[in-house]
């Protein structure tokens, strides 16, 4: 599974032992993170670690007299946050930075590279900048002052808010100073509350102060009190002017591009392919950047991918497509060797079959999507695709989706029961399906199961049909084809999964229901993928060869002759 609750708890326990500062729970900060396919920040050595300042303690122990020296912050509301990009001319920067972020109440250190920062200058001479924190992706813009080789950001500008019913929390960015007193240490609001950058002759922006004595950090406003640091902030910056541009074919060739499907190890998605006599262009080779093009240099049937191609922005990071490989690297933190994706040694070659309309790698291939070009010392793979095969397909309307397989009811840890299954996004003819139209029902004893927000914390509404890619970060996870759904319901005899697809004309197509006896029932389960014979009967006992909508009895007989009967709803 993608991220089990046990793993989360175990990671939190480890950090409770090793982390050096706990953030008090005086607020309920809920900030969105980068999407899973292109994660940021990048933790040192790929592991969760404590940050460099070894003696920071809970801010509950910070000296009140020191905090009182700062002037109260002006009151702000969510209406003061600048979400819309200001109109004006843009300059883009590639940000590498070092700072802090929080996880389960503990402040940890992280570094980031390849982050996209945009500065906008409006026609009336005002300047705005975004995306300045390692640990957060914030959609808000900050106003800044540019004076020659100096850039300053006034503290107190709101960047995020959380609201529920009549309750609202507002978070602002500030300059925080590091201090130590009476054996305690923390970051406290700077008296002047201004964070400064310097600009070099070649346009590189860096922090005006060396070291970690001052950070640009996230603060929480509690009434009229000065803002308090909540564990996010950066102190080391290098923002280099970004000049790379994405490639794309000429308009005529782009218009000829046809939809092909990319099928790789454990994942599949749609691309667009345009074939020319000297090149093959692939659009959407990275699923997170569907508009990004990669040009393959063609020599007959051989098509070679360059060592590095900039394809666009995802999760506010610049992304490059390039060859990668898996290498065993020694990890100082874990004191052992771990597998890590590193830059590849040679270009990836694809073989084009124009008659069959297939584009297959010549041997094993690993596409890496990294935050920096191939030869950059800070090269970091954000995502990868193994052994991609790109093929043209003709979709046949009216073909239902394939049933799920490898359905398990897992209760290895009491109280954390879950269903795990493989859900491949293909129809029964093997054609790739549009996952935006693909969903599934969870069936409890043959009846459609509903997730209620009062029972499932991170559901915002009642849901009985889950989209294929839906995750909530706690009870529902997706990792490629692998799906994991936690449940709290007891007294269940059988669980089932029913795929659903909406075809081009709006027709709703149902895949075969796959069922399993629940772990708690103690009954030997018959999994749909293992059943040797499956038959359906209506409520009058009449056998139905192709059940449509309604309630039916499903009879499944396994290879050993054991039969089970389950009522299902279609």
Pick the more confident residue, 105 or 462: 462
Q: Please tell me the chain's helix, strand, coil percentages from 3-state DSSP, rounded to the nearest 5.
A: 5, 45, 45
How far apart CA 501 and CA 514 sit, in angstroms, is 16
Q: Phi/psi of residue 88, each to 5°?
A: 160, -170
pLDDT in tens, 152-191: 999 999 998 887 777 788 899 999 999 887 777 789 999 9
Contacts of 271 (CB under 8 A, 6+ apart): 259, 260, 261, 262, 282, 283, 284, 285, 390
- Section 431-451 average pLDDT: 95
| Secondary structure E strands in 276-376 | 279-283, 293-299, 302-304, 309-314, 317-331, 336-343, 349-353, 358-361, 366-370
Whether 227 has a pLDDT exceeding 90, the answer reads: no
| Secondary structure E strands in 428-541 | 438-444, 447-448, 466-467, 476-479, 482-486, 494-502, 508-510, 514-517, 533-537
pLDDT in tens, 242-297: 999 999 999 999 999 999 999 999 999 999 999 999 999 999 999 999 999 999 99
Kindly state the helix (H) or strand (E) to which residue 560 belongs, with its residue range.
none
Contacts of 251 (CB under 8 A, 6+ apart): none
How far apart CA 499 and CA 509 sit, in angstroms, is 8
How far apart CA 67 and CA 74 sit, in angstroms, is 16
How far apart CA 448 and CA 462 sit, in angstroms, is 13
Model pLDDT, residue 330: 85
* Cross-strand pairs, 90: 120
Model pLDDT, residue 57: 36
Contacts of 47 (CB under 8 A, 6+ apart): 331, 333, 334
How far apart CA 343 and CA 446 sit, in angstroms, is 49
Query: How large a percentage of the chain has pLDDT more than 70?
Result: 77
Residue 352: name the closest of 252, 291, 276 by CA: 276
Q: Band of the pLDDT at 527, cuts 50, 70, 90?
A: very low
In whole angstroms, how far apart are CA 523 and each of 116, 123, 269, 518, 560?
54, 72, 38, 7, 15
Q: Phi/psi of residue 347, each to 5°?
A: -65, 155
**HSE of 465 in the Cβ direction (CA atoms, 13 Å)?**
11
- Cα 16 off chain centre by: 25
Q: Band of the pLDDT at 556, cuts 50, 70, 90?
A: low
Kindly state the helix (H) or strand (E) to which residue 66 belongs, with its residue range.
helix 64-68
How far apart CA 566 and CA 192 sit, in angstroms, is 70
Pick the more confident residue, 508 or 76: 508
Whether 470 has a pLDDT exceeding 90, the answer reads: yes
Model pLDDT, residue 566: 55
Query: Helix count (H) and strand count (E) of the chain?
Result: 3, 39
Q: What is the dihedral of CA 222, 224, 227, 228, to 10 degrees?
A: -50
Beta strand pairing call for 349-353 and 358-361: antiparallel
Q: Please give the mean pLDDT across all residues of the chain.
A: 82
- Cα 393 off chain centre by: 28
Q: State the first-to-last Cα distance of the chain, in angstroms, to the nearest integer.
A: 28
Whole-angstrom Cα Rg for the chain: 27
Whether 525 has a pLDDT exceeding 60, the answer reads: no
Kindly state the helix (H) or strand (E) to which residue 9 belongs, with its residue range.
helix 5-18
Model pLDDT, residue 410: 79
């Amino acid at each position: 599974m993608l991220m089990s609750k046990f793993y989360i708890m175990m990671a939190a326990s480890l950090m409770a032992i090793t982390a050096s500062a706990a953030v008090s729970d005086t607020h309920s900060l809920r900030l969105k993170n980068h999407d899973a396919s292109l994660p940021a920040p990048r933790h040192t050595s790929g592991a969760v670690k404590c940050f460099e300042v070894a003696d920071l303690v809970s801010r509950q122990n910070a000296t009140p007299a020191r905090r009182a020296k700062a002037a109260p912050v002006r009151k702000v509301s969510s209406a003061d946050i600048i979400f819309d990009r200001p109109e004006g001319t843009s300059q883009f920067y590639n940000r590498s930075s070092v700072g802090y972020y929080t996880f389960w109440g503990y402040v940890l250190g992280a570094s980031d590279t390849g982050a996209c920062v945009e500065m906008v200058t409006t026609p009336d001479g005002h300047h705005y900048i975004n995306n300045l924190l390692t640990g957060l992706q914030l959609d808000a813009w900050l106003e800044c002052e540019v004076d020659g080789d100096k850039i300053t950001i006034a503290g107190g500008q709101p960047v995020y808010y959380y609201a529920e019913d009549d309750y609202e929390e507002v978070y602002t960015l500030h300059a925080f100073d590091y201090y130590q007193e009476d054996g305690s240490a923390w970051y406290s609001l700077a008296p002047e509350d201004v964070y400064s950058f310097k600009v070099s002759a070649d346009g590189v922006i860096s922090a005006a102060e060396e070291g970690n004595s001052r950070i640009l950090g996230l603060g929480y406003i509690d009434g009229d009190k000065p803002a308090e640091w909540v564990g996010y902030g950066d102190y080391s910056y290098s923002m280099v002017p970004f000049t790379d541009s994405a490639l794309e074919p000429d308009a005529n060739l782009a218009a000829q591009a046809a939809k092909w499907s990319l099928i790789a190890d454990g994942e599949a998605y749609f691309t667009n392919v345009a074939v020319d006599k000297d090149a093959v262009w692939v659009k959407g080779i990275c699923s997170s950047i569907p508009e990004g093009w990669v040009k393959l240099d063609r020599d007959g049937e051989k098509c070679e991918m360059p060592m590095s191609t900039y394809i666009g922005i995802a999760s506010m990071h610049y992304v490059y497509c390039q060859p990668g490989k898996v290498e065993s690297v020694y990890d100082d933190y874990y004191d052992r060797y771990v597998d890590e994706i590193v830059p590849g040694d040679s270009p990836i070659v694809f073989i084009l079959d124009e008659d069959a309309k297939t584009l297959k790698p010549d041997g094993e291939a690993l596409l890496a999507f990294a935050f920096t070009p191939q030869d950059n010392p800070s090269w970091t793979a954000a995502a990868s695709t193994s052994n991609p095969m790109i093929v043209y397909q003709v979709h046949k309307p009216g073909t239902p989706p394939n049933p799920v397989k490898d359905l398990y009811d897992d209760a290895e840890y009491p109280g954390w029961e879950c269903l795990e299954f493989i859900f491949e996004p293909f129809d029964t003819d093997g054609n790739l399906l549009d996952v935006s139209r693909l969903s599934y029902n969870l069936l409890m004893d043959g009846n459609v199961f509903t997730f209620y927000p009062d029972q499932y914390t991170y559901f915002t509404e009642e849901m009985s049909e889950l989209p294929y890619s839906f995750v909530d970060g706690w009870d529902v996870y997706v990792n490629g084809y692998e799906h994991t759904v936690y449940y709290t319901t007891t007294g269940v005899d059988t669980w089932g999964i029913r795929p659903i697809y909406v075809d081009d004309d709006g027709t709703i197509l149902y895949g075969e229901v796959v069922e399993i006896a629940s772990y708690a029932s103690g009954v030997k389960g018959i999994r749909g993928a293992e059943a040797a014979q499956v038959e359906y009967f209506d409520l009058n006992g009449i056998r139905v060869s192709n059940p449509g909508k309604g309630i039916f009895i499903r009879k499944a007989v396994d290879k050993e002759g054991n039969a089970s009967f389950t009522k299902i709803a279609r």
